[in-house]
Amino acid sequence: MLILTVNLLIKRSHPYIPNSLPEIKKEMMREIGTESIDELYADIPEKYRLKKPLKLPEALSEFEVKKQVEGLLSKNKTCSDMPVFLGAGCWPHYVPAVVKEIVQRSELLTSYTPYQSEISQGMLQTLFEYQSMICELTGMEVANCSLYDWSSALGEASRMAARLTRRNEILVPKIVHPERLATLQVYAEPAGIIIKQVAYNKETGQISLEDFRNKISDKTAAVYIENPSYLGFVETQVDEMSRAAHAHGALFIVGVDPTSLGILKPPGDYDADIVVGEAQPLGNAMNFGGPLLGIFACRDDLKVIRQMPGRIIGMTTTLDGNGQGFCMALQTREQHIRREKATSNVCTNEALCAVASAVYMALLGPEGLLELGDTIMYKANYAIHLLSKIDGVKAPVFKSTHFKEFTVNFDGARLSVKDVHEKLLERGIHGGKNLSKEFPELGKTALYCVTEIHSEEEIERLATALEEILAGGEKRHV
Amino acid sequence: MFKQANWNERLIFNLGRKGRRGHVSPKAEEKIKRIVGDVNMLIPMSMQRKSQPKLPELSEVEIVRHFTRLSQMNYGIDSGLYPLGSCTMKYNPKINELLANLPAINMVHPYQAEGTVQGILEILYKLERWLAEITGTYEVCLQPAAGAHGEFLGTSLMRAYHKLNGEIEKRREIIVPDSAHGTNPASAVMAGFNVVVVPSDEDGCVSIEALKTAVSERTAGLMLTNPNTLGIFEKNIEEIAKIVHEAGGLLYYDGANLNAILGKARPGDMGFDIVHMNIHKTFGTPHGGGGPGAGPVGVSEELAKFLPVPRIVFDGESYHLDYGRPHSVGKMRSFYGNVAVLLKAYAYILSLGFEGLKEVAEVSVLNANYLAKKLEKIKGLTLPYGGEKPRKHECVLSAKHLKSETDISALNVAKRLLDYGLHAPTIYFPAIVNEALMIEPTETFEKEELDRFVEAMRKICEEAYTNPEVVLKAPHNTAVSRLDEVKASHPRTMALSWRMHRKKNEQNL
């Protein structure tokens, strides 16, 4: 009898729920004068109370959970199983051990948004340092402590520009990530913002200044460019475009991959008003595309700052003036105070990813960031060098400087991008992203990405494999 | 008594020494350098960075120490009770962290060929099915990165639905109760709607009379939290649903408070057309100081065609990403969602099963009612909207009497709680309660910790009458004393980055 009771108790007390022990529940119910748990649910109309168990799995022990999830995940192939030459908005980079260690510090990991600043100084100072380092990197003066990703950051930027200028058109390059464009549409359309795409130069991929001048007008709220562009090349006409945008009273918004900013001119140097971008490469793993980390930075102009979306951490002092501290600033922009008049509905953001990026930027320092940029550019351009020598391959499509991504065209080969891709996979190599549907005008083209994690040997393996595949492919068809 | 660490840790920019470094990235091989030539020559002069970014220069050792010290100046759920109302601060199981940090998920690219990502697709597909089952919805989309992002998807779905019906020009209004989370009205505006606010009645529920007056042919939908932010179940939900649906509107469920009804009742059964869930609340994933979370959205069969692309589909053999949805609203963000977070939710549901999830709800409700009953007995505190009605996951107390009798406000009480090594509740929300203290204990904390909280509240209220100075000047035991939040937002003193701080200092010299 005793054994049975003990077993029952153990079974009924879940490790995550200390008060699930029946005798505690009884004790608590007695104290509040309740007969049963059901009494506490008596106000839910009878017809809505669940009558039968939901179709959910049986609870498993921790060991079994681990075994099952690991078993499922083992069906995935990863960047360590095979070289993966994919980028396009999420990039394979090395995440240093220190980053992983710090983001698992449970005082940071398990804390909420730092509403109570005095007990949350660790998180607040770290986020302030993140904002500050993003400013240094981008050449801007104010950054928020994160948005969801580059795409949603662009969406927010378009709405902010429309509010500031009271205009409703945004110019966006024709060469832009289709998912980013689709996200921008979801954010922009309800605010009455019209997206106009600007053509590119067929030779260089650079934005066509002619088309740009035709489209910019006194209706333009913002001009948006990306650097490097979605297809990996450096946009060089930034000063002209920035000047033209400002001459028309429009804002200049620049999207960045921050790993390029050790070597490329920061947007602050060409008078960007808002900088958006993706900070996943700064210390965050790919995780099948999420979480990501949206960068959002702007100039030190109160009018602009007051329209910013998202959480911003500010430096302050203690009330007695004796100590330094940090707290959330300008909360009157935010939904929990301003409700329908808020600058955005964003609440939960990607704070812990920002912590990872802060640690990463600190680890690299100015010298390390410069070296990272150099390494990426060397390796990507080495891949371009090898691939462009292969019969039937043109790499890159555009005559411009490429940073870490580049287009590879197979028009000179019999095989489609998909065929090439599948044959690479058979050889244990994951090729780039197929652009055939996104940019039909570029023919049989894929977008390849090379970063510091790709070794000389892996890049050469890719070249050799492509050479074999294309040679073989031609033979079969002749 | 509790005493938080204070390392007087300087800003990272003021630490280290020129030339120190914390990490060495891989270098390009010599052969590559030889063949490519000087990489700087490839970049046009006009696009080269002229001066290095002023990032800090520290060794690895110093960086680890800096951030470890900072972490010790922070309070998390692993430190103690965290009763923030509507935030559902529950335990974040360690096994889930371990699983979400495996290379088999960390090192997977979202555009990898479907054949190489079957494991994670299966997990996401099953999670969608489980969440649909839990919420009583037809299909679930995992894409939104946060609860508010899910709300924005929800209001975008309303927009798409009324657009397809040719009524979007007419249906411009979304109705929200006055007790709603601030994200609700903000999300309505994000999707281009106007906001109509309906008041609560004397029971703390949506006033049916006011709702009847508010609905019209202009109504796009109603956003409702149930149980609401007072912790009270909207018992008239059937009538509410009928009123909104008969007016041609859609019913939206704000899932911030789903924890109370897990395995007990389902929004879909109550007539909700769109439901968002906060994975980082109800499903035990960490808040990380403000994110990342995940805000999946479940919908009725009628609305499924509007969900963002891609949809994960299973053909009986393998999993695929389906982009062929002509009515889809498009994309809320890049890729498929905060996958590393969603993976933890999958493991969480596996660890609890149906019985466990139901237990989560029941114990969270028991804990909230226990606190409500204990706290309302404390002099200075009251439980507005009736002490007889059971609360669900949270309860909202008022420090109105305390304030009028002692001048000690809800804010003062909150700050003093920190001195006891307890986090403060949500304060001044919902706005319909004066001097509100909104308390959600969740199922996580044992009776002993709940009693410690009650005892701390009792002592603080007693101090308010006998020694108000100590409460007014709180906190005393945190890393820093009370901060000047006004200064942080004042144009003259505002410093939102180190760069801005330097500039302000120079100006003031």
Choosing among A112, A113, A332, which should be mutated to test the B contact, i.e. which has the most B CBs within 10 A? A112
Q: What is the pLDDT of residue B1?
A: 85
A344 and A429 fall within a common domain: no
Tell me whether residue A401 is in a domain.
yes
Q: What is the mean pLDDT of residues B281-303?
A: 98
The torsion angles phi and psi of A440, rounded to 5 degrees, stand at -60, -30
Q: What is the pLDDT of residue A219?
A: 97
B396 and B269 fall within a common domain: no
Tell me whether residue A67 is in a domain.
no
- Asked if the C-beta of B387 comes within 8 angstroms of chain A's C-beta atoms, the answer is no
A197 and A284 fall within a common domain: yes
**pLDDT tens digits, residue range B449-505?**
999 999 999 999 999 999 999 999 999 999 999 999 999 999 999 999 999 999 988
Three-class DSSP labels, chain A:
CHHHHHHHHHHHCCCCCHHHCHHHHHHHHHHHCCCCHHHHCCCCCHHHECCCCCCCCCCCCHHHHHHHHHHHHCCCCCCCCCCECCCCCCCCCCCCHHHHHHHCCHHHHCCCCCCCHHHCHHHHHHHHHHHHHHHHHHCCCEECCCECCHHHHHHHHHHHHHHHHCCCEEEEECCCCHHHHHHHHHHHHHHCCEEEEECECCCCCCECHHHHHHHCCCCEEEEEEEECCCCCECCCCHHHHHHHHHHCCCEEEEEECHHHCCCECCHHHHCCCEEEEECCCCCCCCHHHCCCCEEEEECCCHHHHCCCCCCEEEEEEECCCCCEEEEEECHHHCHHHHHHHCCCCCCCCCHHHHHHHHHHHHHHHHHHHHHHHHHHHHHHHHHHHHHHCCCCCECCCCCCCECCEEEEECCCCCCCHHHHHHHHHHCCCECCEECCCCCHHHCCEEEEECCCCCCHHHHHHHHHHHHHHHHHHHHHHC
Tell me whether residue A138 is in a domain.
yes
Check CB contact under 8 Å for A385 and B35.
yes
What domain range includes position B165? 147-294
Check CB contact under 8 Å for A289 and B334.
yes
Strand partners, B397: B437
A357 and A370 fall within a common domain: no
- Asked if the C-beta of A9 comes within 8 angstroms of chain B's C-beta atoms, the answer is no
**pLDDT tens digits, residue range B28-76?**
999 999 999 999 899 999 999 999 999 999 999 999 999 999 999 999 9
Check CB contact under 8 Å for A59 and B351.
yes
A395 and A411 fall within a common domain: yes
Q: What is the CATH number of the domain that holds A372?
A: 3.90.1150.10
Name the least confident of A250-264, A275-289, A325-339, A408-422.
A325-339
Check CB contact under 8 Å for B120 and A73.
yes
Q: What is the mean pLDDT of residues A42-52?
A: 96
Q: What is the pLDDT of residue B388?
A: 82
Q: What is the pLDDT of residue A338?
A: 87
Flag whether the pTM goes above 0.90: yes
Q: What is the CATH number of the domain that holds B290?
A: 3.40.640.10
A161 and A176 fall within a common domain: yes
A311 and A430 fall within a common domain: no
- Asked if the C-beta of A10 comes within 8 angstroms of chain B's C-beta atoms, the answer is no
Check CB contact under 8 Å for B339 and A290.
yes
B270 and B403 fall within a common domain: no
**pLDDT tens digits, residue range B394-434?**
999 999 999 999 999 999 999 999 999 999 999 999 999 99
Check CB contact under 8 Å for B148 and A347.
yes
Given a cut of 50, whether residue A6 has pLDDT beyond it is no
Tokens of A252: 């200049």
A444 and A301 fall within a common domain: no
Tell me whether residue A377 is in a domain.
yes
What's the number of domains chain B is made of?
2
A335 and A433 fall within a common domain: no
Q: CA B148, CA B154: separation in Å to the nearest integer? A: 9
A370 and A355 fall within a common domain: no
What's the number of domains chain A is made of?
3
Check CB contact under 8 Å for A17 and B270.
no
B183 and B288 fall within a common domain: yes
B155 and B260 fall within a common domain: yes
Q: What is the CATH number of the domain that holds A229?
A: 3.40.640.10
Do residues A308 and A273 lie in contact, with contact meaning Cβ atoms separated by under 8 Å?
A: no
Q: Which residue of B has its CA nearest to A289?
A: B110
Check CB contact under 8 Å for A345 and B190.
yes
- Asked if the C-beta of A252 comes within 8 angstroms of chain B's C-beta atoms, the answer is no
Q: What is the pLDDT of residue B220?
A: 98
Check CB contact under 8 Å for B123 and A69.
yes
Q: What is the pLDDT of residue B238?
A: 97
B375 and B276 fall within a common domain: no
B165 and B255 fall within a common domain: yes
3-state helix, strand, coil in chain B (%, to 5): 45, 10, 45
Quote the minimal CA–CA distance from A111 to chain B in Å.
4
Given a cut of 50, whether residue A398 has pLDDT beyond it is yes
What ipTM does the predicted assembly reach?
A: 0.98
Do residues B449 and B89 lie in contact, with contact meaning Cβ atoms separated by under 8 Å?
A: no
**Residues from chain B contacting residue A382 (CB–CB below 8 Å):** 28, 32, 35-36
Question: Band of the pLDDT at A473, cuts 50, 70, 90?
Answer: low
- Asked if the C-beta of A77 comes within 8 angstroms of chain B's C-beta atoms, the answer is yes
**Residues from chain B contacting residue A350 (CB–CB below 8 Å):** 145, 291-292
Tell me whether residue B428 is in a domain.
yes
Do residues B350 and A60 lie in contact, with contact meaning Cβ atoms separated by under 8 Å?
A: yes
Check CB contact under 8 Å for B102 and A269.
no
- Nearest CB neighbour to B289, from listed A96, A108, A186: A108
A325 and A380 fall within a common domain: no
What domain range includes position A256? 97-361
- Asked if the C-beta of A36 comes within 8 angstroms of chain B's C-beta atoms, the answer is no
Q: What is the pLDDT of residue B16?
A: 96
B370 and B288 fall within a common domain: no
Q: What is the pLDDT of residue B507?
A: 81
Q: Which amino acid is at B201?
A: D
CA atoms within 13 A on the CB side of B482: 16
Q: What is the pLDDT of residue B485?
A: 94
Q: CA B229, CA B177: separation in Å to the nearest integer? A: 10
Q: Mean of the per-residue pLDDT values for chain A?
A: 95
- Nearest CB neighbour to A264, from listed B13, B43, B362: B43
Tell me whether residue B330 is in a domain.
no
Q: What is the pLDDT of residue A11?
A: 56
Tell me whether residue A354 is in a domain.
yes
Tell me whether residue B3 is in a domain.
no
A351 and A373 fall within a common domain: no
Tell me whether residue B95 is in a domain.
no
Q: Which residues contact A110 (CB under 8 A, 6 or more apart)?
A: B76, B77, B78, B79, B92, B286, B287
In angstroms, what is the C-alpha Rg of chain B? 26
**pLDDT tens digits, residue range B315-336?**
999 999 999 999 999 999 999 9
CB atoms within 10 A of CB B235: 17
Q: Which residue of A has its CA nearest to B332?
A: A183
Name the least confident of A115-129, A251-265, A324-338, B123-137.
A324-338
Quote the percentage of chain A above a pLDDT of 90.
94
Which has the closest alpha carbon to A380: B51, B43, B49? Answer: B43
Tell me whether residue A61 is in a domain.
no
Choosing among B11, B41, B48, B49, which should be mutated to test the A contact, i.e. which has the most A CBs within 10 A? B49
Say how many residues make up chain B: 509
Tell me whether residue B241 is in a domain.
yes
Given a cut of 90, whether residue B89 has pLDDT beyond it is yes
Tell me whether residue A68 is in a domain.
no
Given a cut of 50, whether residue A478 has pLDDT beyond it is no
**pLDDT tens digits, residue range A161-186?**
999 999 999 999 999 999 999 999 99
Q: CA B104, CA B107: separation in Å to the nearest integer? A: 6
Strand pairing class (B139-141; B297-299): antiparallel
- Asked if the C-beta of A388 comes within 8 angstroms of chain B's C-beta atoms, the answer is no
Q: What is the CATH number of the domain that holds B437?
A: 3.90.1150.10
A179 and A239 fall within a common domain: yes
**pLDDT tens digits, residue range B198-213?**
999 998 999 999 999 9
**Residues from chain B contacting residue A79 (CB–CB below 8 Å):** 107-109
- Asked if the C-beta of B238 comes within 8 angstroms of chain A's C-beta atoms, the answer is yes
- Nearest CB neighbour to B109, from listed A49, A79, A321: A79
Given a cut of 60, whether residue A63 has pLDDT beyond it is yes
Tell me whether residue A19 is in a domain.
yes
Tell me whether residue B280 is in a domain.
yes
**pLDDT tens digits, residue range B351-388?**
999 999 999 999 999 999 999 999 999 999 999 998 78
Question: Band of the pLDDT at A337, cuts 50, 70, 90?
Answer: confident
